[in-house]
């Protein structure tokens, strides 16, 4: 933040929901990433999952999670999402998840995109854990965001 303080505390240091009532609504977008690391045998078994297609179920779960972010994260604002989507891509060593969210509102959608990516990853784990309990969920991070007072952000390639 430009003023070097966390916004979720009031002047007395108590947790507080940020007052955005004075901010004009504008278009805001965000994209987040997660990775579900799994063995080749688990990847090969994805199409035969008796619970259904884990990637499609994860996509829907992520979209639902984006819409419920304010119910999960205590100080998040409830936002009218104009778009939410999750793309799951099979890689050699696991599944790469990219979640996107958009709104026209007074605050950003970073948490919605991150929540969508996290819940999609958890859904994949849930649907494949019978094959391997050692599946790992990792690399949850914000890829980019647009709009708002702090301006646009794009993660640098290779950032830790």
Active site residues: 126
Asked if 63 and 86 touch (Cβ cutoff 8 Å), the reply is yes
Exposure string (b/e) for 68-87, b if CB count within 10 Å is 16 or more? ebbeeeeebbebebeebbbe
Give me the sheet containing 153-154, strands edge to edge.
81-91, 94-105, 26-37, 136-146, 153-154
Asked if 121 and 89 touch (Cβ cutoff 8 Å), the reply is no
């Amino acid at each position: 933040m430009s003023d070097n303080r966390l916004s979720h505390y009031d002047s007395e240091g108590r947790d507080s929901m940020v007052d955005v009532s004075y901010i004009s609504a504008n278009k805001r977008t965000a994209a987040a990433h997660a990775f579900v690391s799994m063995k080749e045998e688990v990847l090969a078994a994805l199409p035969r999952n008796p619970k259904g297609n884990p990637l499609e179920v994860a996509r829907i779960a992520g979209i639902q999670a984006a819409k419920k972010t304010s119910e999960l994260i205590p100080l998040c604002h409830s936002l009218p999402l104009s778009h939410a989507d999750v793309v799951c891509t099979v890689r050699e060593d696991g599944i790469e998840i990219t979640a996107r969210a958009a709104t026209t509102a007074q605050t950003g959608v970073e948490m919605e995109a991150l929540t969508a990516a996290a819940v999609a990853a958890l859904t994949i784990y849930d649907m494949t854990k019978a094959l391997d309990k050692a599946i790992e969920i990792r690399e949850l991070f914000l890829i980019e965001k647009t709009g708002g007072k702090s301006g646009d952000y794009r993660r640098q390639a290779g950032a830790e």
